[in-house]
Homo-oligomer: A and B are copies of this chain.
């Protein structure tokens, strides 16, 4: 009657995350995850509904990590929205570079598994909404936040996809874009 538990859900998500970053989504296989935590694939189904649910948990962890980073970053310049804006943009890029596969997955969710993640993503990007509100004014806060998040993630997704490999300093291009976005969104 014992049957001691040999792993945890946290360890399973850890393993899936590591496999994702190491070899892309196709590398996160139930067998590879199981082997990494020291059990057999069928045992994973005691902790996780199926593979899509596991990938959803990985995406959720990434969203939480991004949200924590953004909140921390925004808190560091509480009364200078312009400075906060630039710092947030740099933080998102740092996160994208640190976890490229997870970042891409956040904005390219699987069929329907990631439906609940939309709320989590909205929660995670609250600091951006807040800064946008202070820059653009309450009336256009939502539009401004959407333009900003879309622009930054679009830039980063294209950068990660290698679309900017030809020509020029990508760091400078990002800084240039951030500055122009700031002007585009700020009310004055």
Q: Is the CB of A147 within 8 A of B142?
A: no
Residues of chain B contacted by A173 (CB below 8 angstroms): 142-143, 146-147
Q: Is A34 interfacial (CB 8 A cutoff)?
A: no
CB distance from A15 to the nearest CB of B (A): 21
Residues of chain B contacted by A107 (CB below 8 angstroms): 157-158, 161, 163
Residues of chain B contacted by A109 (CB below 8 angstroms): 161-162
- If A161-B107, A161-B108 touch, whether A143 touches B184 (CB-CB below 8 Å) is no
Q: Is the CB of A180 within 8 A of B176?
A: no
Pairs A–B under 8 Å by Cβ, sample size 7: A104-B108, A142-B168, A143-B173, A147-B177, A153-B158, A180-B184, A181-B184
Q: Is A83 interfacial (CB 8 A cutoff)?
A: no
CB distance from A150 to the nearest CB of B (A): 4
Q: Is A111 interfacial (CB 8 A cutoff)?
A: yes
CB-CB contacts of A82-107 with B at 8 A, as 1s and 0s?
A: 00000000000000000000001001
Q: Is A35 interfacial (CB 8 A cutoff)?
A: no
CB distance from A158 to the nearest CB of B (A): 5
